[in-house]
Structure 1
Amino acid sequence: MASTDAPAGRIELDNGRLLITGSWTLAHHDALKAQLRRHTSLDWEEVDLSGLAGLDTAGASLLVELLGAERLEAVAEWAPALPEARQALLETVARVLREPLTPTSPRQAPLTDWLVDVGDRVLALWRQQRMLLGFIGLTLTTLLACLLRPWRWRVTALVSHVHQTGLNAVPIVALLTFLVGAVVAFLGATVLRDFGATIFTVNLVAFAFLREFGVLLAAILLAGRTASAFTAQIGAMKANEEIDAIRALGLDPMELLVLPRLLAMMVILPILTFIGMLSGILGGALVCIFMLDISATQFLLILQRDIPLNHFLVGLGKAPVFAFLIAVIGCLEGFKVSGSAQSVGEHTTSSVVQSIFMVILLDAVAALFFMEMGW
C-alpha cells in the first residue's frame, strides 16, 4: 500500500490531464498539503493515477480534498488499472469524508435516567448542606472572636442594615399579617359556626399567630426580601473583585460583610415577629367584632384568660434561629457567585428558595418537638 523509498507525491498538469505521481503517505503529508494549496485553481479534464507509487489513509484524504469525494467513490470506473486495494481505500475514505460516521446514541432507559437524575440531585443537596454547615461554623467562629474584641464591632454597618432590612419591611409585614389574620378568623368562624362555637375563633387566631403565623410570615417575607438582597450585594462585590480587594487590605470579609448583616437580621426579625403577631390578632379581632358580634372587651378578656404566655414565647423564640439561617444562606450564596450577571441571578434565586425551604422545614420540626414536649 505504501512505499517508504518512493519520492514524495507530486501534482502536475499535462495537456488537461492531472498527473498524480509519487508517494501519497503520512510521511509526505506536509509537502503534499502545501502543493494542494498551490494547485487549488487547476483546470483539468482527466486524472491519471498510474504514477501513484504509495498510498495510505492520510494521502487518500488529501486526494479526496483535491479531486472530490463523489469522483473518488467511482474511481474503479475511470481508473481500472489502479490496484484493487488502492481503489478500495480511496472509495472508503471518500465515502467516510462525504458522510462522516456519527456514533449511535445509547438506548435511552427512562427509569435509569430518572434514577441517575435523582442521585445527582441528592449528591448536590448533600454537598450544599455540607458547605452550609461549614459556613455556619466559620460564621460562629468569627462572631465569637469579635464578641471578645468590642473595638472591632461594626456598629455603623449594623445600624444601617437594621434600617434597610427591618424598618423598611414593617409596612409589608404588618399589612400581610393583618390580612392573613382576617382570613384565618373568617375561615375559622365559617367552620365553627356549624358547631355553635364561634367564640373559639378568638382562640384560633391567637394560637395561630402567637405560635406559627407571626414568625413564619415575617421570616418568609425576609427570606424573599432580604436574603436575596444579601446575595445580590455580596455577589456584585464578588463579580467586581471588591472582596479580593478587601482581603488585600488585610480585612476579613466575614467580619466586614457577614456579621453586620447576620446581627441585623437577628435583631430585626423578633421585632417584625412581634409586629406580625399584633397585626394578625388585630385583623382577626376586626372580623370577630364586625361579623361575629364579639365585642373588643370580650375579645381581650378571652386573650387574657385563655391564652398562656408560653405560646408567645414559643413563637418569639423561633425568630432568632430563623434570622440566623436566612442571613447565613443569603451571604453564602453571595460568596458562591462566579462573576457573571447570570451567576448573580441564579444564586439570588437559590438563596430565596433555600431560605424559605429551611424556614418551613425547621418550623415543622419545631412544631412537632413542642407538641411532644407539651409546650
Structure 2
Amino acid sequence: MSETSTALTLTTGARPCVCLQGAWTLAHYAQLARTVARPTASVVCLDASGLTALDTAGAALLVKLLGTDTLCRILPDASGLSAERRALLLAVANAMAGRESPPPAASRWTDGLARLGKFMLNGWRQWVLLLGFMGLTLSTLAASIARPRSWRLTALVAQMHQCGLNAVPIVALLTFLVGAVVAFLGATVLANFGATIYTVDLVAYSFLREFGVLLTAILLAGRTASAFTAQLGSMKVNEELDALRTQGLDPIELLVLPRLLALTLTLPLLTFIAMLSGMVGGALVSLLSLDIALAQYLAIVQQVPVRHFLVGMGKAPLFALLIALIGCLEGFKVSGSAQSVGEHTTSSVVQSIFGVILLDAIAALFLMEMDW
C-alpha cells in the first residue's frame, strides 16, 4: 500500500470491522474527506494494521466519521495500533466530545414557539428589572431630598440645557410641519361635507391631547434616551462607575437623578412648545388655504375645554420618567466593549419609543372610559 493511498473500509460479517489504510494526515485530508464515507453498520472493531501515518487532522476526521462514543468503545481492542497512535486518537476523541452537530429541529412550529417563549421571558425579565431600577431610583431621590448638600444643581442645569433647550428647534419644527399636514388632510376630507371650519377643532384637539406630548416624547426617546445610554455605558466601559463607588459616591445619586429630574422638568415645557407649534402650523394652512382668518382661528381654539390641555400636559412627566429610567438602565447594563454600547443604545431607543406609545394607548383607553 503506497503512502498516498488512503482509505477506510468496512468488512461485514459476524463482527463488522473498520480497516484503515494509508496515511491519515493533513496532506491527504482533502482526499480522505472526499472519498471516505461514514460506515452505516454498527462497528465493533478497528483494524489499523494498514495505517502508515496518523496526525491530529486524520484523527479528527476518523472521530467525525465513527463518532466519539463508537471510537472510544472500539479503541481499546484495536489491532495494529501503536500506543502513541492510540493515545492520539483517544485525546482527539475526548477533545471533540460533545461537538457533534445537534440534531435538526423537530419542526418549524416548535422552533418558532421556542423563540416566542424566549422572547416573552426576556421581556418579563426586562420589565421586572425596570421596576426594580425605578424603585431604587425613587428611594434614592426620597433620601436625597432631606439632604440639600447632596443636590447636584450644576449637573441638573447642565442636563436641562442639553435635554430641553437644545431640543427646542427640532421639536418646534417637527410639530409645526405635522400640524400643517394634519390641517391640510383634515380640510381635504371635511371639505366633502362642507365642514372645513372644523379643521381648527381637529388640529386643536389632536395636539392638545395626543400629538403634542407624543411627538415630543418620541423625539426625546430617540435623542435623549440614546444619549443617556451612551454616556453611562462609556463610563462603565472606562471603569469610571467603579471609580465612583470606590470613592464612596452613589452613581444613582450622582448620574441618574440629575438626568431624571432634568427630563421630568423639561418634557412638559417642550410639550407646551409642541402644542403651540402644531397649532401655528394649522393656523398657517387655515389662513393660506382655507380662508380662515387668524382672529377666527384663535376664537375657535379658545372654545376648546381646558381639560384637553391638562390631559396632554399630565402625560408628559410620566413619559419623561419612563424615558429617563430606560435610558439610564440600559447604560448600566453595558458590558466592557464598544459593541455592547451600540447594542444597548439601540435597545434603549426601541424600548423607550415602544413604552411611550404603549403608555399613551393605555392612557387614551382609560381617559375615554372615564369620559375625560
Matched to 1:141, the amino acid is: S
> Are residue 320 (structure 1) and residue 317 (structure 2) matched?
yes
Q: In 2, Cα distance between the equivalents of 1:219 and 1:297?
A: 31
1:332 is displaced (CA, Å) by: 0.3
Whether 2:367 is the aligned partner of 1:348: answer no
In 2, the alpha carbon distance for the partners of 1:168 and 1:60 equals 81
Question: Which segment is superposed worse, 187-196 or 142-151?
Answer: 142-151
Q: 2:252 pairs with 251, 254, 258, which one?
A: 254
Partner of 1:160: 158
Q: Distance in 1 between matches of 2:186 and 2:344?
A: 39
Inter-partner Cα distance in structure 2 for 1:103 and 1:242: 43
CA distance in 1, matches of 2:324, 2:58: 65
Identify the match of residue 65 of structure 1 among 54, 65, 71.
54
Structure 1 pair 195–236 and aligned structure 2 pair: CA distance change class (3 A): same
Residue identity opposite 2:248 in structure 1: G
Alignment of 1:268-307 (within 5 A): 268-305=266-303, 307=304
SS at match of 2:54: helix
Aligned to 1:131: 129
Structure 2: segments with no counterpart, 5+ residues: 1-44, 63-76
| Contact 2:49–2:80 (Cα < 8 Å) also in 1 | no
Structure 1 counterpart of 2:364: 367
Give the counterpart letter for 1:237 in structure 2.
M
Post-superposition Cα deviations, 1:22-41, rounded to whole Å, max 9, x if no partner, equal: xxxxxxxxxxxxxxxxxxxx
Q: Which amino acid aligns with 2:316?
A: A
Q: How many residues are paired up?
A: 300
Q: How does 1:48-197 map to 2 (within 5 A)?
A: 64-65=53-54, 87=79, 103=100, 105-108=102-105, 109-197=107-195
Match of 1:49 in 2: none
Which one has a bigger Cα radius of gyration? 1
Query: Using a 3 Å threshold, how does the CA distance of structure 1 residues 152 and 295 change in structure 2: closer, same or farther?
Result: same
Q: 1:338: Cα distance to partner?
A: 0.5
Alpha-carbon shift at residue 151 of structure 1 (Å): 1.7
Amino acid at match of 2:132: G
User: How far did 1:87 drift?
Assistant: 4.7
Letter in 2 for 1:338: S
Check whether the contact 2:175–2:278 (CA below 8 A) recurs between aligned residues.
yes
TM-score normalised by L of structure 2: 0.76
The CA deviation at 1:152 is 1.0
- Tell me the SS of whatever aligns to 1:180: helix
Q: What residue is the counterpart of 2:329 in the other structure?
A: 332
Query: What CA distance in whole angstroms lies between the structure 1 residues aligned with 2:78 and 2:337?
Result: 55
Unaligned segments of structure 1, at least 5 residues:
1-55, 74-84
In angstroms, what is the RMSD of aligned CA positions?
2.9
Supply the AA of the counterpart residue of 1:319. A
Task: Please give the alpha-carbon distance, in whole angstroms, between the structure 1 residues aligned to 2:79 and 2:338.
Answer: 57
- Once the two structures are superposed, what CA deviation does each residue of 1:246-280 show, in whole Å capped at 9, x if it has no partner? 00000100000000000000010000000000000
Instruction: Letter of the 2:142 partner, please give it.
Output: L
Shift of 1:106: 1.8
Q: 1:88 to 1:135 in 2, by over 3 A?
A: same
Give, in angstroms, the shift of residue 65 of structure 1. Answer: 2.4
- Structure 1 equivalent of residue 12 of structure 2: none
SS in 2 for 1:351: helix
Q: Name the residue aligned to 1:24.
A: none
Displacement over 3 Å in runs of 4+ = 59-64, 85-90, 100-105
Contact 2:330/2:348 (<8 A) preserved: yes
Q: Which amino acid aligns with 1:314?
A: V
Deviation at residue 290 of structure 1 after TM alignment:
0.7
Deviations 1:336-366 (A, max 9, x none): 0001000000000000000000000000000
In structure 2, distance between residues paired with 1:61 and 1:169 = 79
Match for 1:357: what amino acid? F
8 A Cα contact 2:334 2:344, kept in partner: yes
- What's the CA shift string for 1:185-237, capped at 9, x where partnerless? 00100110001101000000000000000000110000000000000000000
Structure 1 residue 86, shift from structure 2 partner? 5.3
